[in-house]
Amino acid sequence: MLISIVVGSSRHNSQSAKVAQYLSTLVRVKQSIHSVKELLPKLWDNEAFHSLKDQDIAQSEVFSEELNKADAFIFVIPEWHGMVPPAMKNLFVAFGKEFSHKPALLVSVSSGLGGAYPIAELRMSSYKNSRICYIPDHAIVRQVEQVLNTPESENENDTRIRDRLGYSVKVLEEYAKAFQSIRQSGVIDLAAYPTGM
């Protein structure tokens, strides 16, 4: 079983990458970590897409295979202007079947007391054609600069979010096991129903 962690921030040394590193210590099965910048450096542009160089197309096929191998995802999403960063939404334009009928844990990140909007945004959209299945539990890492900085917890808030993340990852791992049988059931027919309604 493989869990793929996707960092939704395209900033260098982002706090979301820090949170993703911490999450990687909690995952007890095989895992991979990718950032949206690495998966898809360019924003979707229909004209540019038709003139992409062979090496760009080959690269995106490599990442398509990578994402295909995953049984579940953890998306670590910063709140930018009350929204999901465009590079993250871009992922659902460029990829789709790779996420199909796989559970995902949403972890949002805020330097202040925000972080609810990216959760609401991804729960409301992004699943229609990709058929990604967000599990009911999610986590919001608020005042992110003050937590997850050291191997041991530094304060009460740090402990609380570490416990919450640990619990959420365990729940995701159980969903990941259970969802394998849905994908293997033979019921899923993306050829007949490539998009949701």
Ligand X SMILES: Cc1cc2nc3c(=O)[nH]c(=O)nc-3n(C[C@H](O)[C@H](O)[C@H](O)COP(=O)(O)O)c2cc1C
Contacts with ligand X, residue ranges (CB under 6 A):
9, 11, 14-16, 78-82, 109-112, 114-115, 144
Task: Report, in Å, the least distance between residue 63 CB and ligand X.
Answer: 20
Give the residue among 176, 105, 115, 109 at the shortest CA–CA distance from 137: 105
Task: Report, in Å, the least distance between residue 72 CB and ligand X.
Answer: 21
20 or 67: CB nearest ligand X: 20
41 or 180: CB nearest ligand X: 41
Please give the C-alpha separations between residue 189 and each of 73, 99, 125, in angstroms, as whole numbers: 21, 14, 21
Task: Report, in Å, the least distance between residue 144 CB and ligand X.
Answer: 5
How far is residue 33's CA from residue 140's CA, in Å, rounded to a whole number?
A: 19
The two tokens of residue 196 are: 């949701």
114 or 166: CB nearest ligand X: 114
How far is residue 79's CA from residue 178's CA, in Å, rounded to a whole number?
A: 30
Task: Report, in Å, the least distance between residue 154 CB and ligand X.
Answer: 17
Task: Report, in Å, the least distance between residue 176 CB and ligand X.
Answer: 25
The closest residue (CB) to ligand X is 114
82 or 194: CB nearest ligand X: 82
110 or 130: CB nearest ligand X: 110
The two tokens of residue 172 are: 């995701």
Chain centre distance of CA 100? 13
Contact 123, 84 (CB under 8 A): no
How far is residue 98's CA from residue 181's CA, in Å, rounded to a whole number?
A: 16
